[in-house]
Amino acid sequence: MLGKMEATKWQGKYDVVVVGGGPAGMGAALGARDSGAERILVVDREAEAGGILLQCIHSGFGLHYFKEELTGPEYAERFLKRVLDSNVDVFSNAYVSGVATDSSGIKQVRVMNEKMGVQAIETRSVVLAMGCRERTRGSIRIPGTRPSGIYTAGLAQKFVNMHGYLPGKRIVILGSGDIGLIMARRLALEGCEVKGVFEILPYSNGLTRNIVQCLDDFGIPLHLSTTVARIHGRDRIEKVTVAPVGPGLQPDLSRSWDIDCDTLLLSIGLIPENELSQGLGLALDPVTSGPVVSSTLETSMPGLFACGNVLHVHDLVDFVTQEALLAGRFAGEWAQGVRRPRDNIKLTAGQNVRYCVPQTLAPGREHTIYMRCKEPMKPCVLKVGDLMEKKLRFVVPAEMITLKIKPDLLERFRGDSLEINILPAVGGGSSEEE
């Protein structure tokens, strides 16, 4: 099986150990190899590397990185082949329980495996690439009974695409995240009746292309500023009460109505998988819930790097790959003794900017900054301090904004903090980016 490796084949010492075998982990391994690191190990808890891509059988992946449209498994297979062709070890069915550092800075990664028990793998640097998980009903505490038939959208996707099981026939979807939108189309194609997608916010949390291709093209209604106010049913869910929301996002039950259904899918957000990060005592960003990182994607623990959805939730896998290649490159350099100057410029999120990653920069090289806005705005201007500005036709919270900072720009900067703002464009004007 591609991406699967027997536990008896791995070595005891590595230059770089990558925790997670999804798109971020595979990209980090390749980045480390490109930097010159020789011994690289990817540890993955699943039977086969590839991560969430393996259950995403729809197309739309790879448009940025490969300049062609691929399905999730196709995108994963290309990277798995590159990883294995690069002689990177992949240790599957294994869990990382902790990372220890001794006085010399060399780390030990504790790995658990059914066949080999707990092993200590010595390494010079580590990349965290554990991905993210879905929020559940408990995160938002929907009132009502606790019947069967309530799933996260990703779990329903796994049932349908990998195991051949339909979660139900009459579907209500709460939340307009991309997985929920994609599952609305997927279940409609399977002959299910998708009653609608209900989003508590006044705008969608999914990509615009998914609104068009997954809802509009199939006649599935999207109800904004509306939520599920109550769940009904004993053994199996029988109906839900939905209601528009008023001030403070509180349901207005005087205008509620009931919808008969046998399944409720939840697409209400993703959370970085950061139990390991918390256990290590890493500094975490309160907005992203991922580690705080420098411009080399190094966390607050020297020699420990992070990338992908464990760092901040991405909308496109192409951006995950882009970020992971950088993290792997810097981790590989660290393993070979390269120590770059410490960052001396702090990035802060200003007007209509929810967060920006990395949190610090350094002069002398190009940087890629990832950020999200708080509210939709069009047209607008992205300003980085007084150094640069870029006109944008629109921004929406669901779509990541990426910005390249050229080395010569920071060479001229003499301060210690840069604030990024997204401001309304004065008088409209042309746009450099959609």
Q: Which of 335, 358, 382 is the last residue of a domain?
A: 335
pLDDT of residue 3: 43
Whether 431 is covered by a domain: the verdict is: no
Q: What is the mean pLDDT of the chain?
A: 93
Contacts of 332 (CB under 8 A, 6+ apart): 15, 16, 31, 32, 33, 34, 35, 36, 37, 40, 125
Give yes or no: residues 143 and 258 share one domain: yes
- Please, are residues 177 and 206 in contact by the beta-carbon 8 Å criterion? yes
Q: Show the domain range for 141.
A: 136-268
The one-character DSSP state at 139 is H
Q: Dump pLDDT digits (tens) for 134-173.
A: 999 999 999 999 999 999 999 999 999 999 999 999 999 9
pLDDT of residue 364: 84
pLDDT of residue 2: 42
Question: Average of pLDDT values for 391-401?
Answer: 95
**What is the number of domains present in the chain?**
3
Whether 432 is covered by a domain: the verdict is: no
Whether 340 is covered by a domain: the verdict is: no
Give yes or no: residues 82 and 149 share one domain: no
Q: Dump pLDDT digits (tens) for 263-300.
A: 999 999 999 999 999 999 999 999 999 999 999 999 99
Whether 60 is covered by a domain: the verdict is: yes
Give yes or no: residues 363 and 301 share one domain: no
Distance in angstroms (rounded) separating the CA atoms of residues 321 and 64: 10
Whether 2 is covered by a domain: the verdict is: no
Q: How far is CA 365 from CA 6, 12, 64, 336, in A?
A: 40, 35, 23, 20
Question: Average of pLDDT values for 365-388?
Answer: 94
- Please, are residues 46 and 21 in contact by the beta-carbon 8 Å criterion? yes
Calculate the CA dihedral of residues 4, 5, 11, 16 and round it to 10 degrees.
Answer: 0
Q: Dump pLDDT digits (tens) for 212-267.
A: 999 999 999 999 999 999 999 999 999 999 999 998 999 999 999 999 999 999 99
Whether 195 is covered by a domain: the verdict is: yes
Look up the pTM and report it.
0.93
